[in-house]
Structure 1
Amino acid sequence: MRFLLYLLPLIYFLFSLYTTGSSFGYFTSLEPETIIYSSIDLLLSYALFFYFIYGKKEKLKLLQNDLNLYFISFIEKKWFLISILLIISMFFSYKSILLSLSGMTREELATASGVNFYMLFFSAFIKASTPFVFYFKSSLKVKALFLFSFVSVIVYSASMAEMLYFMMTILTLYSLFGGVKLKQVILYTSSVLLLAFLVALIGQSSRYGNMSFSHFIMSIIMKVTSYRSYSFYLSEYVYKDYDFLNVFYPFLGYLSNYFNNLFCSGCGAYGSDFVVSYRYLGVNPDYNTMYLANVIYPWWSFFVSSFGFLGVFIKVAYNWLILHLLLKYKFRLTFCFVICNLLYISQFNYFLMTLIGFVGFMIFIFMDVMLNRSIRKA
């Protein structure tokens, strides 16, 4: 069963690659270079994953035991504080529900709400912690607390991206540590899909209100596939534009524009306008809706833009260094996140492109610092 999980990133890649081209409504076919770069990136990611799985087996076992013992204990002790944070978040989620029921789409809701820094940090914390709480042996009280918190976050954002992240992280934990239980996987998958359906009915009723559950499931599968397919096309907007001046961007993402501007004014080409601007890629032949894509630029494309063909190899070397340091200095949660990013997320999204992604990564670092501090006191 664990071996089958190893195949999921490859299956995801192949199926998403299959659903590109004019037969699926895209204006153009993918460039051969895009397929080559994407394939090499995935193979190198697999190689690095198996290096840590089999080459660092004893350290991973210690990491698993530490998370199961110390992290869950740390969370159990903070349940009252998290409960207070949940109550505050429910106020913002309630406002979001009212706006959704008034007819606002998810895109309009994001614009109307603006940046809520409380929910930005709370969402990042809940999104980061929930998969670990459900994978490891936590109490029913804590599981219920994080379930309600997770629902609050999803209702607030009216987005299903958090659920996709939850599933990818759970799959990564099973791939890293084993313990795959078919009933548990089915339960989690069914629960996430049902939750996605309910959130869609509330938050995106104009889009999904008249759908049956089975029709909704098929639309979700196609939407998840489209994320990956879109990223193939969006990568061509990046790597075709060779720009050595953005050399820091593949390594630092959101922060790199500050470093780029040390070389010349305006060298930070990948600002918010670039990230959020929609690219018109085609028309869905089944629903007659436009393929509009933004944000989901694969990480490898920025390395290739700066370093050419060698970029995909520099990316895997950079990831090896990060993972090696995280494992050495016992940043356990962050290590698991970077592995998840390596196998799944970075293939279609550079997690440091946006402020939200940067905050999410720093939340992992912060939780590891607090966890290590707690372990030293124990």
Structure 2
Amino acid sequence: MSNTETMLASILTAPHEISLERVPVPEPGPGQVLIRVTAVGVCGSDTHFYETGAIGDIIVQGPLALGHETAGVIAVVGEGVDSARIGTRVAVEPQTPCRRCEFCKTGRYHLCKQIRFYGAWPVDGSFSEYVLVDDDFAHEVPADMTDEQAALVEPVSVALHAARRAGIAAGDRVLITGAGPIGILCAQLARVFGATEIVISDPIAHRREFALAHGVDRALDPTVEDLSEYAQRFDVYLDASGNARAIIPAFEAIRRGGTAVLVGMGGNMLEVPIALIQHREITLTGTFRYVNTWPVAISLIATGQVIAHDLVTGRYGLDGVEEALMKAKTDPVAIKTMVIPSLTAAE
């Protein structure tokens, strides 16, 4: 930071408009820590906010810093936080629940009606040099974990929560649609949970090749291949595309008593084959972010059970956030883009 009282932040001011601004450094309150941001992954939800200014019923109503896949170093601690935490490298769990409602009290704090999520109006995210975090949601990472790996704990948590929701067990056969970062991580988590056959479908050749190099048994091109040979084969179906054209045909491939989990962001409405779901007693559910995943996700990355760092295909400073947000749509070989504040050009 060139000025100890201000910091650089990339601010969404309107759809398709990002402004690099100098803003005040926030001060941690009781139970909070100030994180110096070292790496932030670009998520599809960030891109959606950038393009449309909204996701579902979350509408951006003013200037907002996006970004929530965050790694950093604790720089300042608030009242009640052990000062020994200063200098600790952390992976940030980017949500603040009320901690008092029935969902929080029963360990399902991600469903808290009052939850505040980073980079979703009205809470600023971490496309900035510093960000505030609740002390207990700043999870220490091992010394040999890189900043980018620490930032990727967030998408690994998405996949971990999906695998738990699906109830993947040893010997299961798993179908995944969408071979972007979440689809690839879902495949790796399925293998960790004991799946013995994993098939993924994606129309982009590079992503299919990447999936095959990361534990997938077969990668299908849905533009020329269908799922007819897999009728009623899979115990679990995970969608990481949000695309109805991928989701609907997949139901035919789910066995009786199987489970379908919708992970990808799609439209607000989806027509599903109700009779088929009823007759086969298929369990259909979705995921909402994650809960109680950070320690496990950190361990999976640290022990090499999940290979996350290979996903990173581009890096930008805070002055390149607009390009970073669109990289997955403009570059056919892009998988995951990182924003690294230290790469920001000097003012």
Q: Could you state the TM-score of these two structures normalised by the residue count of structure 1?
A: 0.26
Report which of the two has the higher share of strand.
2
Q: Which has the higher contact order (CA 8 A, sep 6+)?
A: 1
Q: Could you state the TM-score of these two structures normalised by the residue count of structure 2?
A: 0.28
Report which of the two has the higher share of helix.
1
